[in-house]
Structure formats: C-alpha cells, structure tokens
Amino acid sequence: MNVRIRIPSPLRPLTAGAAEVEAEGSTVGEALHDLEHKYPGFDSRLFEANGGLRHFVNVYRNDEDIRAAGGLGATLSGDDELSIIPAVAGGGPGLD
C-alpha cells in the first residue's frame, strides 16, 4: 500500500527537493526501506548496520512516535502519513 512520507530539509536532496513522497509498504520499516529503492541513499542515513533506526532519527506515524507504536513493525493503512524528524540538539549559554 502507498503511504505519504514527509521528508526533512536535510534529506530533500535525495528526493530532488520534494518535501513529500510516496512509498509502498505494509509496515513502517517496509515503507522506509522502499525509499531506498526509489531514492537511493536513504538507508544509510536512516538505519544502523543492525537494521534499527539511527538514534538521532525519529519517525512519526501520523502524530505518534513509532517507538511507542510498534517500531519499524508498526502496521500502516492507506491514510497514514509518516514524518521523518531528525533529532535536534544544542543550546547556548543561559539555557539551563
């Protein structure tokens, strides 16, 4: 089944600038791996060598973090939307 995937700015060069693309899969993991077939370069940016998501990559199915919803095995329906959100870190003086 096709699902929409929102692509963050740092990964848009892989999708020729597209902010949203479609991928096929019945689970979150299948849909994310399908990105590699359509837009080479995604797997190395999203996944560790052991197959898990990189620690700085967050994925949401609709508004729910997939880590709390079954992880990469979470099932998808045709109206689901995935969002890839890179973790943001940093701060400055006085931001306790």
What CATH number is associated with residue 31?
A: 3.10.20.30
Q: Which two tokens stand for residue 39?
A: 């837009």
pLDDT digits 0-9 by tens, 45-71: 999 999 999 988 999 999 899 988 899
pTM reported for the whole predicted model: 0.85
pLDDT above 90 covers what percent of the chain?
A: 76
pLDDT at position 39 is 96
CA angle, corner 86, sides to 14 and 22, nearest 5? 45
pLDDT at 7 over 50: yes
Residue 40 within a domain: yes
Instruction: Please tell me the total count of domains within the chain.
Output: 1
Cα 87 to Cα 55: distance, rounded to the nearest angstrom: 8
pLDDT at position 96 is 46
Residue ranges making up the domain that contains 31: 2-86
pLDDT at position 87 is 81
Residue 77 within a domain: yes
Residue 21 within a domain: yes
Residue 67 within a domain: yes
